[in-house]
Amino acid sequence: MVIKETGGVKRMNICVTASGEGLDSRVDPRFGRCSYFVIYDPETRRVESISNAAAFASGGTGIKAAEIIANAGVHVLLTGTVGPNAFSIFSELGIDVQVGVKGTVQEAIRQYEAGELQSLQSPNSTPGFGTRKGNSMGKGMKGGGAGRGIGRGN
């Protein structure tokens, strides 16, 4: 694994997929469709939350999200599911993907530091896992509404 060196100091950034910003946010087990990437630097204890611009893409979500992670200088990703396209990017870049995270972002980091998670050796999801198939149009109480169709497909 490549560790970013800054002024002779080795840094290892940890990224957790989350439903919101910050350490108190709930973990989102979906990599490509999570709302935020919370990045934590264990050396400085700096926390940065990046909105996942790829979450609502109609296709190529995993690849787009993996590019966001790679550009943020992440070395370890804590999540639930990763598809084959994103996984191949992480493998190529030496980013360690660990699964089994639960609770909040802070709890996920503690689980990682305690060695309670497991490194992913191959993808554990299929392309399009986080998208729902079918018509997402529906009527609300007062008029029509349109949903994004996000969710686990059947």
Backbone angles phi, psi at 43, to 5 degrees: -70, -50
- The pLDDT of residue 126 is 62
Decide if 33 contacts 150 (C-beta within 8 A): yes
Q: Residue 116 corresponds to which tokens in the numbers above?
A: 């309670």
Average pLDDT of the segment spanning 53-58: 91
pLDDT confidence of residue 125: 74
Over 10-60, what HEC string results? EECEEEEEECCCCCCCEECCECCCCCEEEEEECCCCEEEEEECCCCCCCCC
Report which of 119, 15, 20 is spatially closest to residue 65, judged by C-alpha positions.
15
Q: Which helix H or strand E contains 132, and what residues bound it? A: none
- Given this structure, which CATH class describes domain 4-129? alpha beta
Angle (CA) 2 22 90, round 5°: 25
Q: Which of the two residues, 34 and 149, has the higher pLDDT score?
A: 34
Q: Where are the domains of the chain?
A: 4-129
∠120-35-151 over CA atoms, to 5°?
A: 80
Quote the pLDDT of residue 124: 82
Measure the CA–CA gap between 27 and 144, rounded to whole angstroms. Answer: 32
User: What pLDDT, on the 0 to 100 scale, is given for residue 129?
Assistant: 47
